[in-house]
C-alpha cells in the first residue's frame, strides 16, 4: 500500500508484462462513489496528454470498483514541497518547480479546450499533481470533474473539491467555470513558491490562509520575504515578479478578471525565460506554445477482471471497454 484517502487505498503493483501500476481500490459506503468512479473512467477515455495521469484499466464487478493507473514514481507535488523536510523546505530547485507548474498548466489547458466543450477539473491541488521518475508533472483524480460547454458562462452545481482551493464565487453562488480551476491553480503556485500548506492553523491568524497571506505580501511588492528559504538568492527578481503577478491574477475574486489557462501558461513560460536568461523581453517575445505536442495516442484500455490474471493480450479497444458502463444522464 502506498497511499490512503477518502476514496480508499492505493497499492503499487506490477503487471505480467512488467509495467508498474498504481491500483486505486474504492472504499464502499459513500453514495457518490460509483458516480465518481464512472466520471474518472469517462474523462480519461476522452483525454490523453503527457501532463494527465494515464488510465490503464479498471474493474467493476460486484462491489469492487478498482482503477489502474500508470505508476508515478515520485509521488505527489505536495510531498516534495513541505513533507520531505519541513524545517529546511523543499528539495526541488526553482527551475524544476517552475517546469512542474508549466506542465500542470498545459494539462489543464488541454482539459479546458478539449472535445465536447472541455472539462473542469474541480479539484486542482498539490496532492492531485503527481510526478513521474523524471519529475514530469501530471494532473490526476478526475472523480468530481464536470463537462462544460465553452459557450456557457457557467455550470450550476453543488460544491465539490477542497475548501481551501475553492473559487470564492463558486463557493458562494455554485457557479462553476473553467476560471474556478484557474483560482485553485493560483493557490498551488503559492504553495510551490512558499513550500507551505494552503492552510496551516498552527500559524498566526494572518498567516493561516496562504492565498490571503501571499497576496498581502504581493500587493506590498515584497513577495520575496515569504518564499521557501531554499530559494532565497536563487530566483531572478524579474522572474519572481512575473511569477507573483501570475499567481495574483489567478486569485482575482471574480472569474472574469482571471486569465485563461492558456494565458497563465504563457506567463509562466515567460517567467521561466526571465529566470534562465536574466534579460528583459516583452511578454510576447520568444514564447512558443506547443500544447499539441503533449497529446498522446490513446492506449488499448483493459477492463480488469477481479478473478483472473492480467496479461498484455487481454486488452481491448476503448469503445468496447467503455460500452460496458451503464451511464445515467447525470454522469454524462
Active site amino acids: 123
In angstroms, the CA 251 to CA 145 distance is 20
> Under a CB-based contact definition with an 8 Å cutoff, are residues 98 and 268 in contact?
yes
Residue 301 pairs in a beta bridge with none
Q: How many CA atoms lie within 13 A of 251 on its CB side?
A: 23
Q: What is the 3-state secondary structure (H, E, C) of 80-103?
A: HHHHCCCCCCCCCCHHHHHHHHHH
**CB proximity list for 135: less than 8 A, separation 6 or greater:** 74, 92, 96, 99, 100
Give the burial class of 97: count Cβ atoms within 10 A of its Cβ; 0-12 exposed, 13-18 middle, 19 or more buried: buried
Could you tell me the CA-to-CA distances from 21 to 132, 290, 298, 304 in Å, in that order? Answer: 12, 29, 17, 13
Paired sense of beta strands 55-61 and 302-303, if any: parallel
Amino acid at each position: 500500500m502506498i497511499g490512503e484517502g477518502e476514496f480508499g487505498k492505493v497499492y503499487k503493483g506490477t503487471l505480467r508484462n512488467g509495467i508498474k501500476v498504481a491500483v486505486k481500490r474504492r472504499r464502499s459506503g459513500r453514495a457518490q462513489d460509483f458516480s465518481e468512479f464512472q466520471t474518472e473512467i469517462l474523462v480519461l477515455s476522452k483525454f490523453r496528454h503527457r501532463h494527465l495521469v494515464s488510465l490503464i484499466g479498471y474493474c467493476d464487478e460486484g462491489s469492487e470498483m478498482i482503477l489502474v493507473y500508470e505508476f508515478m514514481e515520485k509521488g505527489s507535488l505536495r510531498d516534495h514541497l513541505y513533507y520531505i523536510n519541513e524545517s529546511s523546505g523543499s528539495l526541488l530547485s526553482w527551475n524544476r518547480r517552475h517546469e512542474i507548474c508549466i506542465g500542470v498548466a498545459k494539462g489543464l489547458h488541454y482539459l479546458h479546450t478539449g472535445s465536447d466543450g472541455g472539462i473542469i477539473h474541480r479539484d486542482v491541488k498539490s496532492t492531485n499533481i503527481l510526478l513521474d521518475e523524471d519529475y514530469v508533472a501530471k494532473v490526476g483524480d478526475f472523480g468530481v470533474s464536470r463537462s462544460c460547454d465553452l459557450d456557457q458562462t457557467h455550470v450550476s452545481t453543488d460544491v465539490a473539491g477542497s475548501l481551501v482551493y475553492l473559487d470564492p464565487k463558486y463557493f458562494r453562488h455554485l457557479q462553476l467555470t473553467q476560471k474556478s480551476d484557474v483560482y485553485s491553480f493560483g493557490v498551488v503556485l503559492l504553495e510551490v513558491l512558499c513550500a507551505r500548506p494552503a492552510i496551516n492553523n498552527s500559524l498566526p491568524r494572518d498567516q493561516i490562509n496562504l492565498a490571503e497571506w501571499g497576496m498581502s505580501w504581493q500587493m506590498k511588492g515584497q513577495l520575496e520575504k515569504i518564499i521557501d528559504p531554499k530559494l532565497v538568492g536563487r530566483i531572478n527578481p524579474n522572474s519572481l515578479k512575473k511569477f507573483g503577478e501570475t499567481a495574483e491574477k489567478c486569485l482575482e475574486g471574480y472569474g472574469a478578471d482571471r486569465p485563461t489557462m492558456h494565458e497563465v501558461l504563457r506567463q509562466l513560460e515567460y517567467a521561466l525565460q526571465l529566470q534562465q536568461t536574466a534579460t528583459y523581453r516583452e511578454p510576447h517575445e520568444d514564447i512558443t506554445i506547443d500544447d499539441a505536442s503533449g497529446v498522446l495516442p490513446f492506449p488499448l484500455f483493459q477492463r480488469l477482471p477481479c478473478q483472473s490474471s492480467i496479461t498484455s493480450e487481454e486488452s481491448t479497444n476503448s469503445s468496447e471497454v467503455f460500452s460496458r458502463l451503464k451511464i445515467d444522464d447525470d454522469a454524462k
